[in-house]
Structure 1
Amino acid sequence: MAPWILRFAVFLLSCFLCQQEAQCLDEVLRLRTSLLEKYQKSIRPVRDYRDGITVHLNVALRQITDLDEKNQVLKTFCWLRVYWKDEYLAWNETEYGGISSIMFPSREIWIPDIYLYNNVDEQSDGGLQPGTNVKVTSEGEVSWLTPSSFTSSCKIDIGPFPYDDQNCLLHFGSWTHTGIQVDLQNVSDAADLSDFADNGEWWLLGMPVRREEKFYSCCPEPYPNLKFSINLRRRPMFYFFNLVLPCLILLLINPLVFYLPPDSGERMGFCMTILLALVVFLQLVSESLPKTSDNIPLIGKFFAGTIFLLGLTAMANIIILHLYYRRPGSKAVPPVIRKIFLVYLAKIFCVTKASDCDEKEKDEKDGPEAFKISNPFVDVTQMFPFGGSAPNSPEPGSRDYGTWDCSGRVRRKEPPRVTFNLEAMQTNSLIYLKEILRSVNVIVKDIKEQRADENVELEWRDVAMILDRVALFFVIMATVGLSMAILLFSGL
């Protein structure tokens, strides 16, 4: 085929299509003009005013923008699908070139006044804003598909936080028309979730819908409304790794404070550090939760229980340190406490008492041989043999021992004979011995008092160490119980 023939055929076809399109545009304009010529968008589109209009509503949830637990506000983005019949927008297809449907701007025709009852958006009244086009068929069936963002109130149940499920409502209904005038019906039993975008904080469990009719004191007629329930479940991993897990670690470290020696001086500092860390974590949790007294969150109970347990641990350490560092001169351990702690609890917790070891060492040192003293009443003549010196004899070199000549030399002479007065010497010896015994008795008394004080201190230290072991046992049991409780209630 020649090229000029092909070009001519294309030209004829284009002219035919343009003519057909022009005819179609003319028909659409004629139909549109005919339908809107006497149309009143402020009046319900029914021939008989006593008839009602049935409006079907369905919601396709696209995204959960935010759930603000502190302010109890839910932000969502939805596609609304509204269907009804407009008796003034029906036509005969044969009269208008076979046109079966036409599009109208939503501002040009009547649309139902459907509002979100639980709207809390300050910049919107919660109504469906006209903006998108409306599709109308030749039978008068109207389909309005419009996207909308909603900010609704949501009652937050913080009891099981952060392992909680929330149920938020989108409550739709006609604001001015009664159920007789506009009957609102749901298209299906649940919203459309096929295009829902997953949220990083919540799992969407479902979105069922139920229809209710409510009667108000102002009007005897019923007002139908639709309630779309958005069932959400929190994803707890963020809170577990950032709040629960650090608290569990601090809780498990807490019993180790009893393994620190009391002499180290770090026990109370260790307890206070853990306690302050938990208070900081609790403050972080409270800032993200609503200020309500209706319920206490699970994580708040866990932190409160942990802080209470740490408080008891600190109190037990204060008592233990007070008993461990008893000053000399303190009262002896009462018999009841001695029997309970130093007899029964020492055996149960297998504690070796320091007072028993100290008594064994003292018994070995202070045996009968250690206190063996020779007889002080010995024969005094054994101390001074005949010809020896006596206490009253002159010392060699003294002037009483010899005479001096003119040259300064000493003329020696025989020492005089010394006679012993045994009675006087025995009397003096007894006096000296009595003084020595008196001094020894004072020393022995002081040693006994010192040892008694040391015994009392050791017994109080034994009581403190046994109490330390008892507190360690109960703190470990309470820690395990509290940890199991949070894990069981959390459902992990």
Structure 2
Amino acid sequence: MEITLAKALWLLMLPQGFVAPLKCSSRRPESLFASLEADLFPKKLVPPVDRFSDPININISIVVMAIFGVDEKVQTMTSFISQSLTWRIEGLHWNEAECGTNRVSVPREQLWLPEIHIAELMGEDESPQTTYVSLHNTGDVFDNKPIRVVSSCRMLIYTFPFDVQNCSLTFQSYLHFDLDIRLIQGSTAEETLQASKDLIRTNGEWELMDIKAAPYVDKLRRGRSSSEMKYHIVLKRQPMLYVVNLIIPSCFLITVDLFSFLLPPQSVDRSSFKMTLILGYTVFLLIMNDLLPVTGETTPLINVFFALSLALMVASLLETIFITNIQFTSTQYREVPRWLSILVLRYLAIAVHLPPQKESNRVTVVLQSHDNELHICTNNNISSSPVMSHDGVSDSTIEEKPAPDPQQHLVDELRKLSNNLTAIRLHVDNHFKGANTSQEWYMIGIVVDRLLFAIYIVFILASFLTIICIWTWGNL
């Protein structure tokens, strides 16, 4: 009798838990729910712990079901996840053989539920509502519900469209501290990633690359620590849409502009062709502007690529205008300076694989008469030389003798003819001199055009290779 009394006292001293073990009068569902109605449901406002100092350990797991999209303009990610919460009601259990089941669905409003929210949630919760939670005979409560999450995400779009985004989902309680609720990681990050890849429903622009989970973190809030669980969702953009619609057409237009250098620079078609390319590329950028991300923090590298392509086309047009100006208006220039002629036509011509130009020799035409040589110049701004007689003595030193009228008339005609021939000769000399000057400026234009074309090619290759390397290394 004393042993029985001591055993009873010892049992009374043991903690009884939040509720007593449930008893079922039969294996029918009514018996189990009658016990729950009597012992558990009336305590739905009370946390399921023995003392307020005991924290409630909540295991949390998620599965990413779909990635609907990422909006770079408003910096948000839209996803659909399955959130699973598991906690235990202290002291609650029943005998499976006695009650006929080890699990039962209970209306959510009949139990105490933890207040867990996503810190990055933006806007209203539009997720479908679940009515029941699962209650096990061990006292474990399993709450699984789908959530459509529109969460804030800090976007790094410098390497767009080859960017990788890391968006986080932080699960925490706004009201309870770590002394009240403690969040514990349920499934491992590898299990979460594998389950998400097996169940993901979308195959759109974004590909799920990795999921990283951070164990509960004590965060100082209002002077006390709170428990939170953070998941990092790593997404990779599928760039094929932007490569086909943006990058490849730009490369085609740059290639066409590059081959337009094969047109003769003095042709008007070359400058008009380049202007048409610039107008077409501008219209192309305006049409495709909606596909480009907009942010005020950083400038995407693809925008630099488009700006560089447009700048190269403009520079190509300016180069054509410069060369055409040299070759078409060369007759208005003075003679080519000797240092410029030597530098361009001898050295730069070799550098651009053009044969060096030799100086042209001027052909001098000498007009002679049968009897004597006449050197007569015109009086209009032409340097004149005296007319030499047959014996080489100047006419000015010889006293003029009266001649018969027919001979004097013949001499006057010959004198006029000599003046006209001299004027024609000077005009021809000036013409050939200007032609030689024009030819030198023309050849200088050809050499400079080929030199700038080579520099244009080198700059394009260096710029595009640099952008490709930044795109590649930016995602490593």
Q: TM-score normalized by structure 1?
A: 0.77
Asked whether 1:195 is paired with 2:185, we answer no
Q: Identify which range, 337-346 or 77-86, moves more after superposition.
A: 337-346
Rounded Cα–Cα distance in structure 2 between residues aligned with 1:37 and 1:462: 100
Partner SS for 1:328:
helix
| Aligned residue identity for 1:212 | V
Q: Distance in 1 between matches of 2:66 and 2:41?
A: 41
Residues 188 and 99 of structure 1, relative CA distance in 2, 3 Å threshold: closer
* Alpha-carbon spacing, 1:329–1:91, altered in 2? closer, same or farther (3 Å): closer
Instruction: Compute the displacement of 1:94 (Å).
Output: 7.4
Task: Determine if the alignment matches structure 1 residue 24 to structure 2 residue 28.
Answer: yes
Partner residue, 2:90: 87
Aligned-partner residue type, residue 319 of structure 1: F
CA separation of 1:94/1:355 partners in 2, compared to 1, >3 Å: closer, same or farther?
closer
In structure 1, which of residues 189, 214, 219 is the aligned counterpart of residue 219 of structure 2?
214
What root-mean-square deviation, in Å, do the aligned CA atoms of Structure 1 and Structure 2 show?
2.9
In the alignment, the residues of structure 2 paired with residue 76 and residue 39 of structure 1 have an alpha-carbon distance, to the nearest angstrom, of 35
User: 1:110-189 to 2 correspondence within 5 Å?
Assistant: 110-121=112-123, 123-124=124-125, 131-189=130-188
How many angstroms apart in 1 are the aligned matches of 2:297 and 2:349? 47
Distance, in Å, in 2 between the alignment partners of 1:175 and 1:248 is: 52
Aligned to 2:329: 326
**Could you say which residue in structure 2 is the equivalent of 1:311?**
314
The DSSP-based 3-state class of the residue aligned with 2:28 is helix
Instruction: For 1:170-319, list aligned pairs within 5 A.
Output: 170-190=169-189, 191=192, 192-193=195-196, 194-210=198-214, 211-216=216-221, 219-283=222-286, 286-319=289-322
Q: Give, in whole Å, the separation in 2 of the partners of 1:376 and 1:106.
A: 135
Q: Structure 1 counterpart of 2:232, which letter?
A: S
Question: In the TM superposition, what are the counterparts of 1:346-365 in structure 2 within 5 Å?
Answer: 346-351=349-354, 359=360
- Whether the 8 Å CA contact 1:202–1:233 is kept in 2: the answer is yes
Residues 437, 352 of structure 1: alpha-carbon distance in 2 compared, 3 angstrom cutoff: farther
Deviation at 1:348, TM superposition (A): 2.5
* Equivalent residue number for residue 374 of structure 1: 369
Q: 5+ unaligned residues in a row in structure 2: which ranges? A: 1-24, 374-401
How many angstroms does 1:153 deviate by?
0.9
* Cα distance in 2 between the residues matched to 1:168 and 1:155: 7
* 1:426–1:347 CA distance, 2 compared to 1 (3 A): farther
How many Å apart are 1:56 and its aligned residue? 0.9
1:444 to 409, 425, 448: 425
**Secondary structure of the corresponding residue to residue 321 of structure 1:** helix
**Secondary structure class of the residue paired with 2:158:** coil
Asked if the contact 1:82/1:145 (under 8 Å) is kept, the reply is yes
1:111 is aligned with what amino acid?
Answer: L
TM-score (norm 2): 0.80
Asked if the contact 1:134/1:144 (under 8 Å) is kept, the reply is: yes
Alignment-derived partner of residue 6 in structure 2: none
In 1, are the aligned partners of 2:56 and 2:87 still within 8 Å (CA)?
yes
Shift of 1:320: 0.3
Q: Is the 8 A contact 1:73 1:151 kept in 2?
A: yes
- Cα distance in 2 for partners of 1:95, 1:344 equals 103
- Is 1:336 matched with 2:339? yes
- Return the offset for 1:341: 1.2
- 2:53 partner letter: R
Corresponding residue for residue 475 of structure 1: 456
Q: Which amino acid is 2:252 matched to? A: I
Counterparts of 1:470 and 1:239, CA distance in 2: 34
| Equivalences for residues 406-421 of structure 1 within 5 A | none
CA distance in 1, matches of 2:36, 2:462: 76
Report the counterpart of residue 44 of structure 2 in structure 1. 40
Partner-residue secondary structure (3-state), 1:50: coil
Mean CA deviation greater in 342-351 or 277-286:
277-286
Change (3 A) 1:138 1:242: same
Kindly provide the amino acid, as one letter, of the partner of residue 481 in structure 1.
Answer: A
**8 Å contact from structure 2 (residues 266, 328) kept in 1:** no
Q: Is the 8 A contact 1:81 1:145 kept in 2?
A: yes
Going from structure 1 to structure 2, the CA distance change for 1:37 and 1:115 (only over 3 Å counts) comes to closer
- Bigger shift: 51-60 or 303-312? 303-312
The alpha carbon displacement at 1:432 in A equals 1.6
Tell me how far apart the structure 1 counterparts of residues 293 and 241 of structure 2 sit (CA, whole Å): 19
Q: Give the partner amino acid of 1:177.
A: H
Residues 175, 45 of structure 1: alpha-carbon distance in 2 compared, 3 angstrom cutoff: same
Cα gap change, 1:239/1:475 in structure 2, threshold over 3 Å: closer, same or farther? same
Tell me by how many angstroms 1:185 deviates. Answer: 1.3
TM-fit CA distance, 1:471: 1.2
Which is further off, 77-86 or 294-303?
Answer: 294-303
Deviation string, structure 1 residues 39-69 (Cα, Å, up to 9, x no partner): 233x322221221101111001111011112
Report the AA paired with residue 485 of structure 1.
T
Whether the 8 Å contact between 2:211 and 2:232 is mirrored in structure 1 is yes
With over 3 angstroms needed to count, the CA separation of the structure-2 counterparts of 1:244 and 1:304, relative to structure 1, is: same
Q: Which amino acid aligns with 1:450?
A: H
Query: Who wins on radius of gyration, i.e. which is larger?
Result: 1
Structure 1 residue 458 corresponds to structure 2 residue 424: no
Per-residue CA deviations over 1:158-201 (Å, capped at 9, x if unaligned) read 11111111111111111111111001111133134231235231
Shift in CA distance, 47/438, structure 1 to aligned 2, threshold 3 Å:
same
Structure 1 residues 402-457: Cα deviation after superposition (integer angstroms, max 9, x where no partner): xxxxxxxxxxxxxxxxxxx9643333222222211222222222222222222222
Identify if the C-alpha distance between structure 1 residues 288 and 76 changes in structure 2 by more than 3 Å, giving closer, same or farther: same
SS of residue in 2 equivalent to 1:62 = strand
C-alpha distance in 1 between matches for 2:284 and 2:469: 21
Aligned partner letter, 1:453 = G
Q: Tell me how far apart the structure 2 counterparts of residues 37 and 63 of structure 1 sit (CA, whole Å).
A: 36
Q: Is the 8 A contact 1:136 1:143 kept in 2?
A: yes
- How far 1:37 sits from its partner (Å)? 5.0
Deviation at 1:266, TM superposition (A): 1.5
* Alpha-carbon distance, 1:469 to partner: 0.8
Q: Is residue 75–residue 150 contact of structure 1 (8 Å, CA) maintained in 2? A: yes
SS in 2 for 1:38: helix
- In structure 2, C-alpha distance between the alignment counterparts of 1:427 and 1:37, rounded to whole Å: 148
Q: Does the Cα contact within 8 Å between 1:166 and 1:233 map onto a contact in 2?
A: yes
Partner SS state of residue 107, structure 1: helix
Q: Identity of paired residues, percent?
A: 24
- Counterparts of 1:119 and 1:77, CA distance in 2: 12
Distance (whole Å) between structure 2 residues aligned to residue 170 and residue 284 of structure 1: 35
